[in-house]
Amino acid sequence: MNNNIKLAVFDLAGTIVQDNNGVRDCLYKAATEYGLNVTKDEISTHMGTNKIHLYQFLIARTKGNYIDFKNFEVDIDDSTHDEAIKLYQKYTEYMISYYNENCQEIEGATETLKWLKENGIKVATGTGFHKDINNVIMEKLGWINSGLIDYAVDLDMVPEGKGRPAPFMIFKAMEALNVQNVRQVIKIGDTPADMLEGYNAGCKAVIGVTQGSTPIQVWGKYRHTHVIETVKELPELILSGKIV
C-alpha cells in the first residue's frame, strides 16, 4: 500500500453524501423565485462553490459581467452582494429542510472512511456549505462523533468564505491535522470546483467520482489524476499503487 498518503479530503454532496440533485434544485428554486434568469445546467456546472459567491457569479453573468470560473474566488463582483445574500438566505431554508428529511450516505462511504482510518490515513471533509448546513449533515450521519471524520471544514472556517476552487479549505484541514506536505494529501470530489481545488492545492492525487450529481463530461475537462465510479472503490485504488 502507498503509505505516503497521510490525509484524504472528501467533498460531501455527491461524493460521500447522497445528493440526487437536491443541492442544485434548492439553489435553482431560490434563484427562480427571486427572478434570476438561470438554468439548472448552469447551476450544476458551478456546484461545490461558496453559494453566496455562486449567486454573485450568476447575477453578474445576467448583467453581462462574465467571469472565468477559474477566477471564481478572485474576480468577485461586489455590486451583487446584497442580492446574493437574499438569495442565499432563502436557499439555506430549503437546504436545511432537505437534509433534515433526506440526509443519507453514498453506499460504501462509511466502509471507506473506516478503511482509511484503519490504515493510518486521516480523513477530512470540505464543502461548499456554510456552518449551518454542514452541521446538519454531520449531526445526521454521525461521522464526527464516531471518529470516522477527523476534521470537517466549512466555508465559515476560511477567510472571507473563500471556498473552492481556492485551495484554502484543504490547507485548513492540513493545518488542523498537522499534515505538512500537500504531496501527502489526496482530494476526492465530483465537480469542476473539486478538481480545481485539488489542483490549486497541489495535491498528490485529485480523484473524480462518476456517480456524483455532476457528469464526468463537465468536471472531466478540469485537471484530475484518477477516476473512480464511487468512493467505495478508493481503497482498491490506493492498494493498486497507481497513486504516485
Could you tell me what percent of the chain has a pLDDT over 90?
A: 85
Domain ranges of the chain: 7-19+105-239, 22-102
For residues 178 and 171, what is the distance between their CA atoms, to the nearest angstrom?
A: 10
Give residue 189's pLDDT: 97
As a whole number, the mean pLDDT across the chain is 94
Taking only the tens place, the pLDDT of each residue in 56-78 is 999 998 888 888 888 889 988 89
Which one has a higher pLDDT value, 150 or 78? 150
Read off the pLDDT band of 214 (50, 70, 90).
confident
With cell 449567486, the residue in question is 55
pLDDT tens, position by position, 94-125: 999 999 999 999 999 999 999 999 999 999 99
pLDDT of 167 higher than 70:
yes
pTM value > 0.75: yes
For residue 1, what pLDDT is reported?
56
The answer on pLDDT for 181 being more than 60 is yes
The predicted pLDDT at position 3 comes to 65
Q: What is the mean pLDDT of residues 24-40?
A: 93
State whether CATH 3.20.20.70 applies to domain 7-19+105-239.
no
**Cα–Cα distance between 149 and 73 in angstroms, integer?**
27
Q: Average pLDDT, stretch 196-206?
A: 97
pLDDT at res. 66: 86
